[in-house]
A and B are shown apart, each in its own frame.
Chain A
Amino acid sequence: MHPIFSHLRRLALYLLAWVPLAAMLAYLMHATSGISAKDSIVLAVPLCVIYAFICLSAYFSCRATPFDRTTIPKFVITHGMGALVASGIWILIARFMAYALSRTYSFPEIDHEMARAVPLLFGAGVLFYLLSVDLYYVLMAVEASREAEARALQAGILAREAELKALKAQVNPHFLFNSLNSISALTSSDPAKAREMCILLGDFLRRTLGLGEKSAIPLEEELSLIHSFLAVEKVRFGARIQMEENVDKGAMAVPVPPLLLQPLVENAIVHGIANLIEGGRVHLDIKAQNGMLSVLVENNFDPDAPPRRKSGVGLANVRQRLAARYGNQASFDVKANGDLFRVAISIPAQAEASAS
């Protein structure tokens, strides 16, 4: 694709740039070759329009000899020959035009005048051609840097997507192993309950598998995922888990990254409730206001619990995902106060177009 000829706006701009050149040429013809002012203009203007189009061809020889990958002799010969040929063709056209005009009664002297102007025209032709060669190299460099920029941008987007993919929360395998162990216990003591738990677990797994591909889901869907997670955990921990929920009706449709809130609840159970002999309370509070979605997960915990080796990995993952996706638009706050552990996050409540 020709960078000027194929863009109407650029073509217009390019032809406009030839106006001063035409004016200069007319002045020089008048001043140096003794051509009358009227005849100079009559010759210079159409000749410049024609030459403007001839010079468009310089692009192809520029493209064939990229500036940074061509030896100097080849470079000089290519464009020198190009300039001579283009200028030669131009002179022929000019002579023919002058001859044709001299046949009319309006410009009887024009053919002789033209003959005097040939050296000037030839010099101007070479100069104009080389100028356009220069223009194309500049254009090509601009294009190349713009392409590089676009590639870098694309690479950045790809890297971020890969990061988000890697950070995507996954089902904790120990949750699975413990649940299977519970099912194994129930098969003999309470087969109906064992079956129920199989179904709850299957339901939870199916939901999480489906969500992996999506970049955002309505909050309602994430909540229902949390509910199926809790249903399984309640079979294991029994009355030790007390769940309280306080969710704004208006927040239900807000899009959230999938599996962003479930790890918070899982963390509250694994690192909080599971360490308490009598169990405890998990409080989930979600509000949508001022364009932000605020989520608070608060749970009882034992400050003197034995240290768990993988403690905090789930929370760190959530924090990184928030940072990767929302930058400083999201906040993440963890606080332990007495026997209460609270995680507060807030994210923009609008769908993030860039993350899709």
Chain B
Amino acid sequence: MNQQKKIRAVIVDDEELARQVLREFLSSHAEVEITAECANGFEAVKAVAEQKPDLVFLDIQMPKLDGFEVLELIGPGSAVIFVTAYDSYAIKAFEVHAVDYLLKPVGAERFEAALERAKERLGGKLPQQVLPPAELAAAARPPSQYLDRIPVRDGTRVSIIPTAKLDYAEAQDDYVALASEGKKHLKQQTISSLETALDPSRFLRIHRSYIVNLERVARVEPYGKDRHVAVLSNGTQLPVSKTGYTRLRTFLDR
């Protein structure tokens, strides 16, 4: 790997003492530079978006956003090492292609091994993650558990959309536009992966490009020859495909 260029690292943990341990372990590594320390998920997303670090040490349970939500928002640019007291997230962590998973209390040897893996990943010896993190996060979620909130990032700003406040989602190339409370939020995710993450009893794919919150549907009207539109309670009209209409009918007739 490049000897001149330092590895730029960000430490994210809401406990000062937990950050201190990592800082101390890193102090003997001149090749690693800590560019930021963050105490919550919002700060972490902001710091990573601004600094584009090579490596992120990420706690899982934090105020505002948990570690997985942070990872989902910061994208695949940085190598991530999870640091947590909970062993129950380990499988999920590797499914989202974390470099390593350190358990608190963190031992020096284990830490060195994780750092070594991170260097290999950064040096290109280990495969980079191929899917956008939102797809990975969806893949790692247990099938019985549906999203009840969707974090979205606009530059360095993070908003949380509770699924109860989501009116509909619209596919736009590699993104989905999430319509909530009169605003639209863009998120890098395919509409299919969003569909699988949402509760199918509350959200329905009515069109190749649209998922609608069933509670918002006021009525369905015919539109031209054998086509339909769904009219939402706020007046928005969404196109309904043929299969979407059959699905919608079974819900509305119930």
Contact surface of A with B, Cβ cutoff 8 Å: 174, 177-178, 180-186, 188-189, 235-238, 274-277, 302, 304-309
Contact = CB atoms under 8 A, between A and B. Distances in A.
Interface in B137-188: 148-149, 160, 162
Contact of B105 (A180, A189, A237, A238): A180
Given A177-B85, A236-B17, A277 B24 contact: no
Given A178-B85, A277-B40, A185 B18 contact: yes
Contacts of B63: 274-277, 302, 305
A302 B21 CA distance: 27
A35 to B, nearest CB: 92
Interface stretch (B49-57, B64-72, B74-82): B64-72
B15 A178 contact: yes
A185 B104 contact: no
B194 interface: no
B125 to A, nearest CB: 30
B223 interface: no
B114 interface: no
A305 B105 contact: no
A336 to B, nearest CB: 15
Contacts of B104: 177-178, 180-181
17 contacts: A174-B85, A174-B86, A177-B85, A177-B104, A181-B15, A181-B21, A184-B106, A185-B17, A188-B24, A235-B17, A275-B63, A277-B40, A304-B149, A305-B63, A306-B41, A306-B69, A306-B149
A189 B25 CA distance: 13
Interface in B3-17: 14-17
Contacts of A188: 24
A178 B84 CA distance: 8
Given A174-B85, A307-B148, 16 more contacts: A177-B103, A178-B104, A181-B15, A181-B17, A181-B18, A181-B85, A182-B17, A183-B105, A185-B17, A238-B16, A274-B14, A274-B63, A277-B64, A302-B64, A304-B64, A306-B65
Nearest to B67: A306
Contacts of B24: 185, 188-189
Nearest to A174: B85
A309 B141 CA distance: 12
Interface string B14-31: 111110110010000000
B15 A304 contact: no
A339 to B, nearest CB: 13
B237 interface: no
A277 B15 CA distance: 10
A308 B21 contact: no
B115 interface: no
Contacts of B66: 306, 308
A102 B17 CA distance: 112
Contacts of A238: 16
Contacts of B40: 277
Interface string B80-117: 00000110100000000000000111100000000000
B64 A309 contact: no
B64 A185 contact: no
Nearest to A177: B85
Contacts of A181: 15, 17-18, 21, 85, 104-106
Contacts of B190: none
Contacts of A275: 62-64
B61 interface: yes
Contacts of B86: 174
B229 interface: no
Given A274-B63, A302-B63, A308-B61, A236 B106 contact: no
4 closest A-B pairs by beta carbon, nearest first, are A306-B66, A177-B85, A181-B104, A185-B17
B39 interface: yes
B20 A189 contact: yes
Contacts of B103: 177
Contacts of A306: 41, 61-62, 64-66, 69, 149
Contact of A182 (B18, B62, B65, B148): B18
Contacts of A178: 15, 18, 85, 104
A78 B105 CA distance: 78
Nearest to B83: A181
Nearest to B103: A177
Contacts of A304: 64, 149, 160, 162
Contact of A184 (B65, B105, B148, B149): B105
Contacts of A274: 14, 61, 63
A177 B15 contact: no
A182 B160 contact: no
